[in-house]
Every structure is written in C-alpha cells, then in structure tokens.
C-alpha cells in the first residue's frame, strides 16, 4: 500500500545518507602526496554535487508524505511524519557537513598551491644569487668595476623576507593538520639549507669585494703618486736638456 511505498523511499534515502557520511565524513583521511589530496578534493566535490541533486528526491518524498498525511487519519501518519522530519534533518546536516569539508579541503589545496608558488619565486631568487656569486668569484679590474659588482650583489642581498615568512606560515598550517607533512618538511629542509648556504657565501663575498676595492684604491693611489713623481722628474730632465746641462752637473737622482 501507499504507506509501505513511502516508508521504502524514506528508508532508501536514510541508507544513502548513512553511506555518504561513512564514505566521506566518518573515515580518517591521510594526505601524504599532492595526488591523494587532489583526488580527495575532486571526490568531495562530486559527493557535494550528488547531495545537491538528491534534494529533488527529498522534495518528492516530502510532497508525497504530506499529501498522504493530508488524506489519512492522524493515527496513520504520526510515525510517518516523524520519519520525514528525521530524514530532512539528516539530509540538511549531511549537505552542511559536505559543504564545510569540501570548502576546507579546497582551502588546503589552495594553500598547497600557494606554498609551491612562493617556493618557486624564492628558488628563482636563489638561482640569481648563485649566478651573481659565480660572476664575482674571480673578478678582475679596478676599484670602480669591483664596486659595481659589489653594489649589484648587495641589491640582491636586500631581498625582502616576506616570501620566506609566507613559506614558513603556509607550511606550518599544512603540517599542523598532518597534510603532506613529510613532503613539505623535505622541501623546506632543502630550501632552507640552500638559502642559508648562499646567504653565508654572499656575506663572505661581500667582505672579499670590500677588501678588493680597498686594495685596488691603494694601488690606484700609489700609481697616481708614481705618475706625479715621474711627471716632475720628466719636467726637470726636459729643462736640463733644453739648457744643455751635463749629467755630471745635476743631482744624482736626476742622473
């Protein structure tokens, strides 16, 4: 009869809700790889869409139960009305929980993408730093040329800490939730080691270039003094020659 048919529809929906809860909400999930995380996001999106589509069936069941209740005596519909109320409550709760978890996982996936983006940006800067350090390894030239290389290196060294702070915070957010923790720790250890090594090498190179500039400036100063001295001597000798002065008649240094 109609009551049996309605109870069957209610029971099927209850079963589907219970299965969806067990499948997507009650299990403990571990995301150790980006592929696992991405798959979980996609599965939860599908589950959310499926739950939304079930709204049509819940409405049909609701209409059928209400139509039946309107015609049946009170004694016949009290239990049925209670079952319908439980179904609607459970269905709405399932949709809410699926929406919440889906939003959370989408935010986690976005957080992972953001972390990769910041790591990529910082690694590009480290590549620049590495190339700059190689270019200044055996630099030749005078004080001005060395000074230009030092300025260029120091501009790179003034790179802001913002990205590195973001990397630290994003990684902490993910690993606190046990998400991709091994992979993230591995990436961070590699990045931080490289960052520290290049920073230390940059500081050493900075001091070395400063010393090279000082040495070059001292050499330049010495050469200028020698040139000035030679110019004075050249002037004196030119004057002696013009006056036909014999070498024996001039100071020893001029001889």
CA dist., res. 120 & res. 251, Å (int):
73
**Token pair in block for residue 171:** 């990684």
**Percentage of residues of the chain with pLDDT beyond 90:** 62
pLDDT value, residue 76: 64
Pick the CATH number of 2-212 from 1.10.10.1590, 2.60.410.10, 1.10.3720.10, 1.20.58.60: 1.20.58.60
pTM of structure: 0.78
- Give the pLDDT band of residue 73 (cuts 50, 70, 90): confident
Q: Give whole-number Cα distances, 200 to 20, 31, 165, 225, in Å.
A: 54, 36, 19, 38
CA dist., res. 22 & res. 165, Å (int):
39
Q: Are 91 and 58 in contact (CB under 8 A)?
A: yes
Q: Which residue has the higher pLDDT, 185 or 31?
A: 185
pLDDT, tens only, 36-65: 999 999 999 999 999 999 999 999 999 999
CA dist., res. 14 & res. 178, Å (int):
32
Q: Tell me which residue of 37, 40, 45 sits closest to 112, measured CA to CA.
A: 37
């Amino acid at each position: 009869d109609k009551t049996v048919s309605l109870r069957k529809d209610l029971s099927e929906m209850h079963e589907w809700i219970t299965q969806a809860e067990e499948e997507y909400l009650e299990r403990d999930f571990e995301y150790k790889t980006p592929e696992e995380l991405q798959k979980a996001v996609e599965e939860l999106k599908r589950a959310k869409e499926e739950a939304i589509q079930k709204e049509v069936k819940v409405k049909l069941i609701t209409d059928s139960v209400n139509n039946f209740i309107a015609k049946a005596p009170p004694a016949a519909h009290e239990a049925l009305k209670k079952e319908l109320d439980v179904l609607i409550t459970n269905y709405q709760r399932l949709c809410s929980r699926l929406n919440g978890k889906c939003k959370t996982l989408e935010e986690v996936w976005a957080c992972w993408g953001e972390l990769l983006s910041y790591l990529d940006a910082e690694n590009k800067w480290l590549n620049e730093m590495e190339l700059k350090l190689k270019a200044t390894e055996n630099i030749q030239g005078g004080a001005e040329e060395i000074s230009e290389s030092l300025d260029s290196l120091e501009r790179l060294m003034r790179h802001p800490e913002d990205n590195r702070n973001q990397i630290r915070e994003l990684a902490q957010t993910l690993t606190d939730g046990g998400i991709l923790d091994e992979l993230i720790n591995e990436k961070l250890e590699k990045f931080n080691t490289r960052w520290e090594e290049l920073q230390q090498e940059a500081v050493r190179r900075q001091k070395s270039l400063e010393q090279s500039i000082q040495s070059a400036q001292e050499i330049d100063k010495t050469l200028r003094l020698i040139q000035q001295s030679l110019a004075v001597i050249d002037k004196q000798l030119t004057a002696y020659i013009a006056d036909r002065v014999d070498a024996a008649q001039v100071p020893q240094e001029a001889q």
